[in-house]
Structure formats: structure tokens, C-alpha cells
Amino acid sequence: MRNCKSFKPSVDYNSKVLILGSMPGVKSLEEQQYYAHPQNRFWKVMNILCNEPKLHEFAYDLKLKTLLKNNIALWDTIKTCKREGSLDSGIQNEIPNDINGLLKKYPNIKTICLNGNKSYSALKKYFPDLLQKYTCYKMPSTSPANARYSLNKLIDKWNLIHAFMC
């Protein structure tokens, strides 16, 4: 079992939408970058939401700056866990991030989007009150393991947060 630790949040005081993953996968942990696996469709979905057709090709720091420019914050529901591989189903001994603390510090965030089932179930388990206090959406995972959703279908589903970014 590998000890996994999430990254610091990418957030600023203008952020209105918080996207929460579960825990970065092996490639992301190695690269120390959110959604670093080349087959993860997260950045391609963000291409459309941020109106930046080549966002997925940007340098990592510019990707994060582009999200912030579009009022999108990024973090994970899980702070630490043990896991073999990258699958959420392998997560054990999870400890949540301080989502409440982040939301208190950044009061402009009103919408939370949960990237996949594990992120949603962790939020529901550790922070059930947030599901009532905030507009929360369980989004289909952008992971390559979620083969049920084509890129176009993911974009269609994720497009609903566009209205909350302004």
C-alpha cells in the first residue's frame, strides 16, 4: 500500500466554484499536478468551460491560473489515504481535507462540483451539512476508468457549472 497525500488547493478570493476530486492518481502524485494522466479528460473538459481550446496543452501553472481566472478552485475531498494504484475503489484509511475551513476562508464559493462517485461519497460522509448549505453537483468522473462517458458526454454534463462561474 502506498501512502498518498493530496495537494494544496488552487483557490483565490474570486473563486465561486470548487471542484473536488477524491485523491490524485499515481501519475498525478508523481508529477505533483492535478489530473496529470494523459488520458484523464479533466483538462479537455475545462477547455470548453474556460473557452480556452488548447488549455490541456498549457503549462501546469498556466492551467491553474486559467481556472482561477474563470473563478474555479480545485482541491480534493481526501487529504491522505493508503492505496495501490490509482483507482478510487482501492482507497483505504482515508482522512478528509478541511473543506469547511477552505469554504470559510473563501466565502465567494457557492457551488461545489464533485468529480466522481468517491469524491461525492467522501463529502457526504465527512461533511453532510455542506450538501444542504451549498449547491452541490455529483459530476461524472473525468478519469479514464470512466469509459461509460465519451468526452462529448462529459462536456455536456459538466457544462452546467458554466452558469456558476460568472
Catalytic residues: 40
CB 110 within 8 A of CB 85: no
Distance CA 114, CA 19 (A): 6
- Report the Cα–Cα distance between both ends of the chain, in Å, rounded: 42
Residue type, 23: M
- DSSP string covering 111-128: EEEEESHHHHHHHHHH-T
Distance of CA 29 to the CA centre of its chain: 14
Nearby residues of 105 by Cβ (< 8 Å), 6 or more positions away: none
